[in-house]
Amino acid sequence: MVTAEATIRTVPKSESGIWSWITTVDHKRIGLMYGVTAIFFFLVGGLEALLLRIQLARPENDFVSAETFNQLYTMHGTTMIFLVGMPIAVAFFNYLMPLQIGARDVAFPRLNALSYWIYLFGAIFMNASFLFNAAPNGGWFGYVPLSSDYSPGPNMDFWVIGLQVLGVSSIMGGVNFITTILNMRAPGMKLMRLPPFTWMTMVTSFLVITALPVFAVALFMVTFDRFFGTRFFDPMAGGDAELYQHLFWVFGHPEVYILILPGFGIISEVIPTFSRKPLFGYSLVIYSGILIALVGWGVWAHHMFAVGMGPIADSFFAITSLIVAIPTGVKIFNWLATMWGGTIEFKMPMLWAIAFLLFFTFGGVSGIHLGVAPADLQETDTYYVVAHFHYVLLGGLVMAIFAGIYYWFPKITGKFLSEKIGRWHFWFYVIGMNMTFFPMHIAGLLGMPRRIFTYSADLNLETINMIITIGGFLTGIGALIFAYNLIKSLKGPATAGPNPWGASALEWATQSPPPAHNFNNIPVVTSREPLWDDEAAMLEQANGEIKKPIHMPNSSYWPIFTAFAIVLSSALLMTGQWWAPLIGFGLIALGILNWTHEPA
């Protein structure tokens, strides 16, 4: 026992090699794998967008067929939401949240690995549809009957099964993050001392575990319609297509906040650091985030004003939707107030954060227009809507993600991303993004419908579409410059110390990159900005001599095995034989059995 004690006191070694990544349960490695996979799919989804833009650059173009166009926009939306937006946030949650709360790992490390592998295999499964020339083609929200009777091929089978599987991964992640934040905080890390990013991780995770199950039910119903002959949404059988829309948006609107709240969390970290001031109105920013999530549950039908729900329902959902603007506005003003009177440093993360404030607000304002039911009736299903949500996502979420990557890159790698290349990335992206999406407002108001593969030359939409396409390519160049910056900076020297930006939160107390066990000794927290109050003491606790034995979870290959079995059993449903998934069930059972029998 004495010898065991002695070995356990030494710093756990980080292993290397591909097998160590396959079997890893380290939250930092899993976070990195999430991040790399999400960036890969970001490029895939971006490529799909550019193909769409080439087709729309000229009227009556025949670059792609109508059917291919349907597949491309469906997969563009599905990819960007489910394979990029959610997982890139999960990458940040995974890597940073345990560091921010002073933990050594998440609550369920193997479950965390399982989430990642299901995400990867699910994403591969869904994109494998391209090999069969049968990519999903019913739109990213899969409205019936576009996702059922009108798409008899295997296309939407890939979609319903793939998303069901990805949902399982997300829910597991949500459970894991909530448990970690509530249960594994360092001594003294009270809830109201949590860094705002960790707070938003928790709020987002609550939305994930509550919204995804509703989507699961909608997906199951479409799956049963497609495979087992039910007619859930067929009016001839008494069914109602509107029910699908309600179920979808009951999930879909919280999903919007699932995408943006992590961005809010990142911005709330970056702005105080580069303004050298604590976050103004911390409690109000946190409560506003919670309020957005709560109210976000009661606004879903603003996506359905054109359905004809009647004036009372329309009014209700218009009012609740506009109410969301209040806590959002509170946050914007708190960020501005944080900058006010601060010593602002215009490093890349801060530039992105400021751009975020501008363009996210812009997207929010067109959202207010769309929330007003009578105006929405004119704008719905036109490029105005496309312009709105791309401003929120590319002007909001993606800018926050860029801010986050530039901000935490030194923590993750010990190296800085190039500020010089970063500025090229910034300006190409900002100009390109605005050039793409600002004219879309006008195209939409002029009546250009979304999801139409071509348009007549008589409509005078030619110039505007050409401008949009050129803007799209500029944005794409920006993304490539970013990729170049990542690769080039990785080859640079490791010059970042533990706290290169002089930030306040706990992740900056440990080394860059952090050791496998994160902290030599778990720091004791006495305030909201521990490193600003006593940086030397925090660094000493985090990096000083190890005083207590460190027990790290063992690596395991059962997560990847079980994930494969889960995706396989779901994919076997495609054979059309009801018993085929049972083969996969057997493998899942085998995985779980071994999982429970290995020492964690």
Catalytic positions, please? 76, 105, 140, 169-170, 253, 255, 257, 268, 302-303, 328, 331, 450
| Segment interacting with other proteins, rule: CB under 8 A, options 33-41, 65-73, 219-227, 287-295 | 219-227
Which position has the token pair 């090999």? 131
Dist CA 53 CA 73 (whole Å): 10
In the numeric block, which tokens belong to residue 207?
């939305």
List the Cα angle 415/202/298 in 5-degree steps.
130
In the bound complex, what is the minimum distance in angstroms from residue 222's beta carbon to other proteins? Answer: 12
Dist CA 91 CA 106 (whole Å): 13
Task: Based on DSSP, count helices (H) and strands (E) in the chain, helices before strands.
Answer: 20, 0
Residue number with CB closer to other proteins (243 or 580): 243
* Residue from the set 25, 99, 163, 211 that interacts with other proteins by CB under 8 A: 211
- Regarding 210 and contact with other proteins (CB under 8 A), the answer is yes
Residue type at 59 in one-letter notation: P
Q: How many CA atoms lie within 13 A of 496 on its CB side?
A: 29
- Regarding 25 and contact with other proteins (CB under 8 A), the answer is no
* Residue from the set 221, 348, 405, 443 that interacts with other proteins by CB under 8 A: 221
Within positions 160 to 179, which residues make up the interface with other proteins, using CB under 8 A? 171, 174-176, 178-179
For residue 530, which of 510, 544, 514 has the smallest C-alpha distance?
A: 510
- Regarding 2 and contact with other proteins (CB under 8 A), the answer is no
Q: How many CA atoms lie within 13 A of 565 on its CB side?
A: 18
In the bound complex, what is the minimum distance in angstroms from residue 240's beta carbon to other proteins? Answer: 8
Contact 567, 549 (CB under 8 A): no
- Regarding 216 and contact with other proteins (CB under 8 A), the answer is yes
For residue 352, which of 298, 416, 401, 292 has the smallest C-alpha distance?
A: 401
In the bound complex, what is the minimum distance in angstroms from residue 186's beta carbon to other proteins? Answer: 9
List the Cα angle 407/408/409 in 5-degree steps.
100
In the bound complex, what is the minimum distance in angstroms from residue 191's beta carbon to other proteins? Answer: 9
In the bound complex, what is the minimum distance in angstroms from residue 522's beta carbon to other proteins? Answer: 11
| Segment interacting with other proteins, rule: CB under 8 A, options 86-94, 211-219, 426-434, 446-454 | 211-219
Residue number with CB closer to other proteins (14 or 210): 210
List residues bridging with 449 in a β-sheet: 382
| Segment interacting with other proteins, rule: CB under 8 A, options 63-71, 92-100, 124-132, 225-233 | 225-233
In the bound complex, what is the minimum distance in angstroms from residue 78's beta carbon to other proteins? Answer: 21
List the Cα angle 203/46/485 in 5-degree steps.
85
* Residue from the set 17, 152, 229, 374 that interacts with other proteins by CB under 8 A: 229
The residues, any chain, with a CB within 8 Å of residue 91's CB and separated by 6 or more, are 31, 32, 34, 35, 38
User: Going residue by residue from 87 to 116, which x/- string records binding to other proteins, judged by CB under 8 A?
Assistant: --------------------xx--------
- Total residues interacting with other proteins, rule: CB under 8 A: 42
Q: Where does residue 395 rank: exposed (0-12), middle (13-18), buried (19+ CB within 10 A)? A: buried
- Regarding 17 and contact with other proteins (CB under 8 A), the answer is no
In the bound complex, what is the minimum distance in angstroms from residue 326's beta carbon to other proteins? Answer: 26
Dist CA 102 CA 509 (whole Å): 10
Residue number with CB closer to other proteins (182 or 326): 182
User: Going residue by residue from 241 to 270, which x/- string records binding to other proteins, judged by CB under 8 A?
Assistant: --x---x--x--------------------
| Segment interacting with other proteins, rule: CB under 8 A, options 34-42, 58-66, 240-248, 259-267 | 240-248
End-to-end CA distance of the chain: 19
- Regarding 552 and contact with other proteins (CB under 8 A), the answer is no
How many C-beta atoms lie closer than 10 Å to residue 377's C-beta? 12
- Regarding 220 and contact with other proteins (CB under 8 A), the answer is yes
Within positions 359 to 398, which residues make up the interface with other proteins, using CB under 8 A? none
Dist CA 354 CA 349 (whole Å): 9
Dist CA 144 CA 132 (whole Å): 23
In the bound complex, what is the minimum distance in angstroms from residue 231's beta carbon to other proteins? Answer: 7
Contact 440, 128 (CB under 8 A): no
In the bound complex, what is the minimum distance in angstroms from residue 365's beta carbon to other proteins? Answer: 32
Contact 549, 5 (CB under 8 A): yes
HEC states along 489-537?
A: HHCCCCCCCCCCCCCCCHHHCCCCCCCCCCCCCCCCCCCCCHHHHHHHH
Residue number with CB closer to other proteins (16 or 596): 596
- Regarding 468 and contact with other proteins (CB under 8 A), the answer is no
- Regarding 183 and contact with other proteins (CB under 8 A), the answer is yes
| Segment interacting with other proteins, rule: CB under 8 A, options 14-22, 148-156, 184-192, 503-511 | 184-192
| Segment interacting with other proteins, rule: CB under 8 A, options 125-133, 180-188, 359-367, 532-540 | 180-188
Residues lying near other proteins in the complex (CB under 8 A): 107-108, 171, 174-176, 178-179, 182-185, 189, 209-214, 216-218, 220-221, 224, 228-232, 236-240, 243, 247, 250, 551, 596, 599-600
